[in-house]
Amino acid sequence: MFVYFRVFIESFNFAVNALKNNKLRTFLSLLGVTIGIFSIIAVLAAVDSLDRNIKENLSGLDKNTIYLTKFSFGPTDVPRWQRENFPQVTYEEFEFLQKNTPDADAIAYMVFGINENIKYQGKTISSVEVSAASEQVQAIEDIKVEDGRFFSEPEAKSGSPVIVLGVTLAENLFGSSNPIGKQVRVFGRKLTVIGVLQKYGNSMFGNTPDERAFVPANFVRRFMNSGKNGIPSAVTIKPKKGIDMAAFEGVLKQKLRNHRGLKYEDPDNFFVNKLSSMTDMIDNIIGMMNIAGWIIGGFSMLVGGFGIANIMFVSVKERTNLIGIQKSLGAKNKFVLFQFLFEAVILSLIGGLVGLFLVWIGTLIATSLIDDFEFILSFKNIVLGTSVAIIIGLISGIVPAWRASRLDPVEAIRTGM
């Protein structure tokens, strides 16, 4: 064991000498490994950071949550002209499903796509995303109120003129003063602020809740068309834990078909969108991005591997005399083999560590430039990058090391002289 440790130390010294004595050649050869590791790990780190951010944004939502709407969240075989003729989900259908879906933990009616100006005294916030919904949207979207409260079921049903503000929205309108109980003007009407949400930070999906406002859907329905041809709407359903989702989805679909009077041969004129389907689609996209990173980095790694092999062949040629002397003094073939193999691995590892260092610097710069988004170089990716560099060194150095170990000591000394 001690012998192999000495071989490792000697190989490390030879590798360092190669870097010192042939700086330009070594730099150009290691550049391929550095760029390859940087390309692969940079993409993996960016994708992991994106995946982590998405999961954090969806952490409060149940993956079994269902969205009944005329729109599809993913690719569909239904022609566009047919989809455009689908009716909107109505409030009456929401009430029907609320009464006839016992396995639902929470059901909410939502109107989306509303952007309005919110005014308070002399201040105006333009193009605010106003989410009009029934009261159970709080349970479905895991909405947390910091000050005040969310609107209640009686307020939602009666369409009370109340509003819940995101924390950034409240700060921009009221500054440091308490907004609870004050009135703002939205839709040309006065609404009383009853709650302010906790701070969420940036979101990967649309506006952050910090910049949104929530009002009862029935308040909006007084002056906006929420019928079959009205504003975009959806019924959001959070099923109870432990139920058979396939059966639940089938019953839900059949109930809405019956309510709409669709015949057996008629196709569905709505979509049952599951949050899990969207997360699966995101996972597929992230998987494709990872593959793209490996392909891009793979070409650089191939060039880097040839560079390491080139250095090792030159190193064997330059040290032919030394190899002959070592073997004449009793050094075994595997001693010479490991000596050059360790050297190749060390050279490749140096290139890989430089690539990882550049990725780490890149994550710090990217995190500082993008608000509320943290790029992370995980320990898993560090181990992966290091392992890939070692494997490239092994593959690139095996042939030169084998040739060095097979040299005849007499011929090697004569050639070296």
Residues 135 and 233 in one domain: yes
**Nearest C-alpha neighbor of 410 from the set 333, 321, 337:** 321
Q: What's the whole-number mean pLDDT along residues 350-368?
A: 87
Q: What is the DSSP letter of 63?
A: T
Helices and strands in the chain, H and E counts: 14, 11
Q: What is the DSSP letter of 162?
A: E
d(CA 31, CA 388): 15
- Residue identified by tokens 């990217």 is 366
Residues of the chain with pLDDT > 70, as a percent, come to 85
pLDDT (tens digit per residue) in 325-349: 767 776 677 777 777 788 788 888 8
Residues of the chain with pLDDT > 90, as a percent, come to 16
Residue 73 falls inside a structural domain:
no
SS (H, E, C) 194-260: EEEECCCCCCCCCCCHHHEEEEEHHHHCCCCCCCCCCCCEEEEEEECCCCCHHHHHHHHHHHHHHHH
Confidence grade of residue 134 (pLDDT, cut at 50, 70, 90): very high
| Predicted local confidence at residue 3, as pLDDT | 63
Whether the Cβ atoms of residue 413 and residue 380 lie closer than 8 Å to each other: no
| Predicted local confidence at residue 216, as pLDDT | 94
- The mean of the pLDDT values for the chain is 82
**Nearest C-alpha neighbor of 235 from the set 99, 137, 114:** 137
Residue 74 falls inside a structural domain:
no
Residue 78 falls inside a structural domain:
no
Task: Locate all alpha helices (DSSP H) within 59-166, ordered by sequence.
Answer: 80-84, 91-100, 137-140, 153-158
Which of 269, 291, 307 is the endpoint of a domain? 269
Q: Is the pTM of this model over 0.85?
A: no
Amino acid letter, residue 214: F
| Predicted local confidence at residue 371, as pLDDT | 66
Residues 21 and 159 in one domain: no
3-state secondary structure of 360: helix
Range of the domain at 251: 87-269
Residues 108 and 223 in one domain: yes
Q: Which two tokens stand for residue 356?
A: 């990882």
Residue 404 falls inside a structural domain:
yes
Residue 64 falls inside a structural domain:
no
Residue 407 falls inside a structural domain:
yes
3-state secondary structure of 76: coil
| Predicted local confidence at residue 213, as pLDDT | 92
Q: How many domains does the chain have?
A: 2
**Nearest C-alpha neighbor of 275 from the set 51, 89, 61, 60:** 61
| Predicted local confidence at residue 277, as pLDDT | 66
Residues 115 and 258 in one domain: yes
pLDDT (tens digit per residue) in 27-83: 777 787 888 888 888 888 888 877 777 766 665 566 788 888 888 877 788 888 888
Confidence grade of residue 310 (pLDDT, cut at 50, 70, 90): confident
| Predicted local confidence at residue 12, as pLDDT | 66
Angle between helices 320-328 and 275-318 (to 10 degrees): 80
Q: Which two tokens stand for residue 296?
A: 């891009």
Which of 269, 296, 331 is the endpoint of a domain? 269
**What is the DSSP annotation of 10-59?**
HHHHHHHHHHHHTHHHHHHHHHHHHHHHHHHHHHHHHHHHHHHHHHHHHT
Q: Other C-beta atoms within 10 Å of 88: how many?
A: 21
β-pairing, 189-197 vs 145-148, is antiparallel
| Predicted local confidence at residue 337, as pLDDT | 76
Residue 11 has pLDDT above 70, yes or no: no
358 Cβ partners below 8 Å, 6+ apart? Answer: 34, 38
- Lowest mean pLDDT: which of 60-69, 287-296, 302-311, 329-338? 329-338
Which of 269, 290, 323 is the endpoint of a domain? 269
**What is the DSSP annotation of 303-348?**
HHHHHHHHHHHHHHHHTHHHHHHHHHTT--HHHHHHHHHHHHHHHH
Confidence grade of residue 375 (pLDDT, cut at 50, 70, 90): confident
Residue 322 has pLDDT above 60, yes or no: yes
pLDDT (tens digit per residue) in 159-204: 999 999 999 899 999 888 889 999 999 988 999 999 999 887 665 5
Whether the Cβ atoms of residue 260 and residue 269 lie closer than 8 Å to each other: yes
| Predicted local confidence at residue 357, as pLDDT | 92
**Nearest C-alpha neighbor of 170 from the set 211, 132, 231, 207:** 211
| Predicted local confidence at residue 232, as pLDDT | 87
**Nearest C-alpha neighbor of 196 from the set 156, 138, 162, 145:** 145
Q: What's the whole-number mean pLDDT along residues 274-300?
A: 75
Residues 324 and 356 in one domain: yes
Strand partners, 239: 104
Confidence grade of residue 219 (pLDDT, cut at 50, 70, 90): very high
Residues 182 and 219 in one domain: yes
d(CA 146, CA 195): 8
Residue 71 falls inside a structural domain:
no
Residues 140 and 239 in one domain: yes
Among 240-249, 284-293, 323-332, the range of highest mean pLDDT: 240-249
Residue 217 has pLDDT above 60, yes or no: yes
Q: What's the whole-number mean pLDDT along residues 223-241?
A: 83
Confidence grade of residue 218 (pLDDT, cut at 50, 70, 90): very high
Q: Which two tokens stand for residue 382?
A: 């560090």
Residues 326 and 231 in one domain: no
Residues 105 and 253 in one domain: yes
CA dihedral 41, 42, 46, 49 (to 10 degrees): 50
| Predicted local confidence at residue 190, as pLDDT | 92
Instruction: Using the Cα atoms of residue 48, residue 67, residue 105 and residue 199 in order, give the sign of their dihedral.
Output: positive
Residues 349 and 371 in one domain: yes
| Predicted local confidence at residue 42, as pLDDT | 84
Q: What is the DSSP letter of 62?
A: -
Residues 252 and 221 in one domain: yes
Residues 181 and 160 in one domain: yes
Confidence grade of residue 156 (pLDDT, cut at 50, 70, 90): very high
Among 62-76, 221-235, 378-392, the range of highest mean pLDDT: 378-392
| Predicted local confidence at residue 14, as pLDDT | 65
Residue 41 falls inside a structural domain:
yes
d(CA 297, CA 299): 6
